[in-house]
Amino acid sequence: MTAQTPTLIKRDGGAHFHFLNTLYTAKISGEQTNGLLTAMEFLAPRNFGPPLHRHESEDELFYLADGEIWFRCGEVEEVHSAGATVWMPRGLAHTFQVRSQTARVFQVSTPAGFERFVAALGRPSAEPALPAPDEIDPAHVAEVCRQFSIEVLGPPPEPVGM
């Protein structure tokens, strides 16, 4: 392992991506951690939720900084609000859905690499703001997921009442 350099990122600092109608910001990349982890922040609107999926390579830790999210991982499902921490081990099917108007989550994935997935499926953004909603192509999402050892197992959660 080589020596690492401390990295300090401001609140709106990092590389921003519009990713599945959310804003993802890469805070710490695998390049900065010698492949140990990726740290990202995401801001998502009400009813956002990824398809039911399973990671073959990464474990994920979510810290819910603001908002309310329903999480399902394996047989466990619960709604959590700001201050909650959720651990989703690799290999377990999981999904989640934003239940508040928006939610802000700090996400750590280990080992590193999730930032490359976000860059491949998303598009760079100069501003740290949510994108205008756009149509999502499930077949394209599944193909990019496959390239990053993420298996799509089902659709996103159905929207809940506004």
Return per-residue pLDDT of the chain as tens, 162 residues: 566 788 889 989 999 999 999 999 999 999 999 999 999 999 999 999 999 999 999 999 999 999 999 999 999 999 999 999 999 999 999 999 999 999 999 999 999 999 999 999 999 999 999 999 999 999 999 999 999 999 999 999 999 876
Residue 63: inside a domain: yes
In a domain, 33, yes or no: yes
The CATH number of the domain where 83 resides is what? 2.60.120.10
- Split into its structural domains, the chain has a count of 1
Residue 162 lies in a domain: no
What is the extent of the structural domain holding 74? 15-152
Does residue 161 belong to any structural domain of this protein? no
Domain annotation covers residue 159: no
Q: Is 128 part of any domain? A: yes
Give the predicted TM-score (pTM) of the model. Answer: 0.92
User: Vertex 28, ends 155 and 93: CA angle to 5°?
Assistant: 25
